[in-house]
Structure 1
């Protein structure tokens, strides 16, 4: 076994250990980097605004971008918190509908609900379930302060990135190589976030129309959740269909809304996820579907749900970095979808 391979294995083990041990600090930082990318993307749009041939936001684009992002995030948190409170109030009526559905099922099939199922239903406490959801939301909100600090420092440090690169890499050729790698990462992540946001927003809007048509409670909340879950590859779209359809089982006393939602929401996910998104996204990411699934499982194990959301951006960054060096280029080729990477300069 060569020394290079041993060093690579040891480095990988050390990084994995650091990711697990330091996740309480690294997860907020990773989220902050994604928020920073979003802010920069919004700021870039403001810089392109032209009024009478002038660009009023060219030098102060960060201010309106920060306002937009803060308002959006605040609206999301407020909507989730308000919906949790409303569902807590409506929990008893949902429990009654569960019993009605079971009675209806027994009358149709002639089968009595088993003792184990009745025991489970008697112990079902939607109030506790909602409380646990609220606790999870509060835990996420608890990291908001740390994420905001990281974002603030990233924005402050941004102006010095080029200066630090010149000092760190005095050799012009090496510096250009690093700058090209960082530029590729920025372009790929922005492209992914832009396309994924548009596609997820379209999915959420169409799903909202379906939910309103069927009459599902809290349609704006479920549409928002569908939008967010679409950022989780494969599994997210499945959960986005199952959650609102499961609510329809306890909201209505018939199976018709459940079947309608299952078919309609599932069709939306299938058409947009398998037809529209690949066409819009194209081969820009050049990630193997198998690698995407493996990355989803790996980062889900390491960082939980947050890791699932960040699995694709992290994998894209890893592939670009690995493909920039001859020693690790073979790994990047294996991670790619078609094996074609840009030449190493």
Structure 2
């Protein structure tokens, strides 16, 4: 066994151990990096905003971008808290509707619900399920203070990055090549996170309209969950459709809302995920499905539910970075779905 291979194995094991041991600090940092890129992308649009022939936010574009993100997060936390309170009140009516559904099922099919299935239905606690989901989201939001500190330092460091590059690389031509490469990486990552966030938001908004139209409880909560789950390809989309659809079974005493939601939400996920997203995303999300599943499993084991939400963005960012260097480009090609990556600048 060569020394290079041994060093690679030791380095990989050390990184894995660091990710597990330091997850309480690294999870907020990973979220902060994502937030930093999204804030930076929003700030770019504020810088370009023209009012009466002037650009009022050209020098202070980060401030309104931060305000937008803070207001959105505040609304999310408030909405989750209200949802948890409402669930405890509505839980008894869900149990009553569940019994009616079992009776309808027996009437329509002429079959009696078996003891095992009846026991499963009786043990199904919708309030506990929604509470667990809300708790997981709140756990992510619970690191908001540490995330905010990380974001603040990232924004401060951004101002001095060019100065550090000048000191690290005195040669002008070499520095220019490195600056161009780093700028290209940043543009690709910013594009991916910004477009993915907008696509996820569009999916959540359209789904919210459908949920309101059908009359499903906690439509805003489910729309938020659909927005978050949209960052997880394929599996996330399936869960995003099934969870609110399952709630309709116990909220209503008829199967019509269930079928309506299953068809309409599934159509939204298919059209936005398979038609619109590939057109606007380009080659940024060119991950192999096998890599997606492996990343989902790996980051889920390391960082739990938060890791599952972050797995694909982290993997995409890693692929963009690896694909920008000739030495590591073969790894990026292996991670991609069709091997087609953007050419190295």
TM over 0.5: yes
Distance 2:261 2:209 in 1: 11
For residue 293 of structure 1, what is the aligned residue in structure 2?
293
Distance 1:171 1:3 in 2: 33
For residue 189 of structure 2, what is the aligned residue in structure 1?
189
1:121 to partner: Cα distance: 4.1
Distance 2:47 2:226 in 1: 31
Alignment of 1:296-335 (within 5 A): 296-335=296-335
1:27 to partner: Cα distance: 0.5
**Structure 1 unpaired stretches of 5+:** none
For residue 339 of structure 2, what is the aligned residue in structure 1?
339
Q: Which digits, 9 at most, give the CA deviation of each residue in 1:17-47, with x for residues without a partner?
A: 2112211110100001111111111111111
Alignment of 1:49-60 (within 5 A): 49-60=49-60
For residue 17 of structure 1, what is the aligned residue in structure 2?
17
8 A contact 2:284–2:320 mirrored in 1 = no
For residue 232 of structure 1, what is the aligned residue in structure 2?
232
**Greater CA drift, 314-323 or 141-150:** 314-323
Alignment of 1:76-91 (within 5 A): 76-91=76-91
Relative to structure 1, is the Cα distance of residues 267 and 109 closer, same or farther in structure 2, using a 3 angstrom cutoff?
same
**Structure 2 unpaired stretches of 5+:** none
Relative to structure 1, is the Cα distance of residues 51 and 144 closer, same or farther in structure 2, using a 3 angstrom cutoff?
same
Distance 1:120 1:133 in 2: 20
8 A contact 2:288–2:335 mirrored in 1 = yes
For residue 5 of structure 1, what is the aligned residue in structure 2?
5
Q: Which digits, 9 at most, give the CA deviation of each residue in 1:214-265, with x for residues without a partner?
A: 2212222222221221111111111110011000000011112111211121
8 A contact 2:42–2:65 mirrored in 1 = yes
Distance 1:324 1:191 in 2: 15
The reply to whether residue 37 of structure 1 matches residue 37 of structure 2 is yes
Q: Which digits, 9 at most, give the CA deviation of each residue in 1:174-203, with x for residues without a partner?
A: 544543343233112221122222322332
For residue 164 of structure 1, what is the aligned residue in structure 2?
164
User: What is the DSSP-based 3-state SS (H/G/I as helix, E as strand, rest coil) of the residue aligned with 1:233?
Assistant: coil
Distance 1:115 1:287 in 2: 45
Aligned residues: 345
User: What is the DSSP-based 3-state SS (H/G/I as helix, E as strand, rest coil) of the residue aligned with 1:111?
Assistant: coil
Relative to structure 1, is the Cα distance of residues 4 and 172 closer, same or farther in structure 2, using a 3 angstrom cutoff?
farther
Relative to structure 1, is the Cα distance of residues 234 and 109 closer, same or farther in structure 2, using a 3 angstrom cutoff?
same
Q: CA RMSD, aligned part only?
A: 2.3
TM-score in terms of structure 1 length: 0.91
Distance 1:38 1:96 in 2: 44
For residue 255 of structure 2, what is the aligned residue in structure 1?
255
**Greater CA drift, 59-68 or 117-126:** 117-126
